[in-house]
Structure 1
């Protein structure tokens, strides 16, 4: 990879770790103890140019810490990290001119200024040439539909309008990498659709590399071709959504609509144990099928013993898969993540905090 990163991968993380020192009272005494808490453990992955990657995990898993290291806000405690070929913490100013960052719960816009003036200040900060600024602003105004509120003070914008303004500010200098932290949080359906369409278009047409952290799994399913899951500070999975569904032993759902309401359906012999309806609503019943169950045999048994009007087999959605993973109901699988990190499921030890010294 070249020094400026233009000829190689966009992000390279090799055994990156981050520890924090936390001070707390022990046993109610006045003495305070300094404790080392590891937020990120030996995470390794590579993100190529033009990729659209989802970075997922439960609250407290280490996602935000990783994002802050990637953008130079925090310095890694161990390992090697390169973004656009630069060390983020040592070359933070140079890196800032080549990346865009959007935090859904914070704004980079000036609260009391009209959106147009905020974007003009962003131009100054990034030293964008006036002609380039006008052309890029016109393009972003059209794509994000900013025209009706460009002259409105930021404080008067709706959440969806402000998010579109933040995206414009992050992309005004045409960055190579866009890092998004919960960009659709709190948005209505229409605003979400606008933001998603814009991000997909930005990635496809301009080749902008995008790293997305979100709890909105609709964003992931509609936008990301690759998913990385971090759990307790460790990279637990790295691959496509289809790979995740195949790796995780997630149950399927069989929805049966009978000709008339009846007692809960139960099927024996299609899998270890009994398959029974776990929910009924009038003539409709839902049966959870483990992966070991023979779906064809279950359907045949139900059709033989009941008057069935309709039947449908639903694969586990990404939301169901991740919910099970986060609750510890399923394992992540034993295959090594694609990015080179060691696999670790929800039960992976995160390392006991180590008392460093007492004051």
Structure 2
């Protein structure tokens, strides 16, 4: 579905170098990135701000032309066959809407039907299906400007899927949404991928989206692909350790044990980070010898910790 080979994208930045003079610097937003996405995959594309995520998305959708390398999406060259590609993909930018601000949602979706030249009967059937799945019924006749952020996002998803695309590209689709709206969007995307086989590429800073939806993760940093694989292998590749949460009978100073890092202390409770090689049972026994323990829990590091640690490793190598 997506083929990216040795792609780079550079921009010329002008900076002031005196009262009149300007200096020109070339900045590589994306640097020699290669990957493939097969039909039916649900892939998360992660990276810190400025890492190159949005630039990659814009090259995949034909908004930007690569400075080097090649991009094929649905077998097409996005920058040269942008109109043809638009009929085969759907795109949602979480911070920008494709809906008409002053029109009711239903009218916006009707206009989008004409833009994509969708048959009237197919449009009615597809709109009915999306209305049910995204729970659009109560606000279909509400002007877009009066919709909540969560309602508007569901409307944008419907707009991107009215023409039944093979590939859905999402850039921060849950940004700013409340817990209920996030859950609705996540459930819908999971069903779209599993039941209809729609290929989905998701960029997000919300790692909860990644854990709940994506089977595969790609991480970009400083314009280069730092990781491509599944979440379990990411955890094994980047040792963020395990977290031991201990509640003592009474507050005590931060624990001091070999290879154990105290992450947080809150009253009688302490959060201890253990490397994966550490013997958790031995640590628990040592704690019990020194203090009265009321409760204890051991869990894997959060995906946020794993990704943050990978970012730091890549940043250190880049320097």
TM-score bucket of the superposed structures, by smaller chain: over 0.9
1:346 alignment partner in structure 2: 315
Alignment-derived partner of residue 290 in structure 1: 275
Q: Could you tell me which runs of 5 or more consecutive residues in structure 2 were left unpaired when the two chains were aligned.
A: none
* 1:1-359 correspondence to structure 2 within 5 Å: 10-26=1-17, 28-268=18-258, 271=259, 275=260, 277-326=262-311, 328=312, 331=313, 345-349=314-318
Contact 2:238/2:309, CA 8 A, preserved across alignment? no
Tell me the TM-score normalized by structure 1: 0.86
CA distance in 2, matches of 1:236, 1:153: 43
User: In structure 1, how many angstroms separate the alpha carbons of the residues matched to 2:63 and 2:263?
Assistant: 48
Give the RMSD, CA atoms, in angstroms.
1.4
Structure 1 window deviating more from structure 2 (30-39 vs 175-184): it is: 30-39
Q: Name whichever structure is richer in helix by fraction.
A: 2
Structure 1: segments with no counterpart, 5+ residues: 1-9, 332-344, 351-359
Mean Cα displacement is larger for which, 55-64 or 16-25?
A: 16-25
Partner in structure 2 of residue 337 of structure 1: none
Q: 1:279 to 1:37 in 2, by over 3 A?
A: closer
2:42, 2:301 → 1: CA distance?
Answer: 23
Ranked by relative contact order (alpha carbons within 8 Å, sequence separation 6 or more), the top structure is: 1
- Structure 2 CA distance for partners of 1:280 and 1:347, relative to 1, 3 Å: closer
Tell me which moved more, 32-41 or 45-54: 32-41
Q: How far apart, CA to CA, are the structure 2 residues paired with 1:182 and 1:44? A: 22
Instruction: Specify the SS of the correspondent of 2:40.
Output: coil
Distance, in Å, in 1 between the alignment partners of 2:99 and 2:28 is 33
In 2, distance between residues paired with 1:239 and 1:140? 31
In 2, Cα distance between equivalents of 1:114 and 1:257: 54
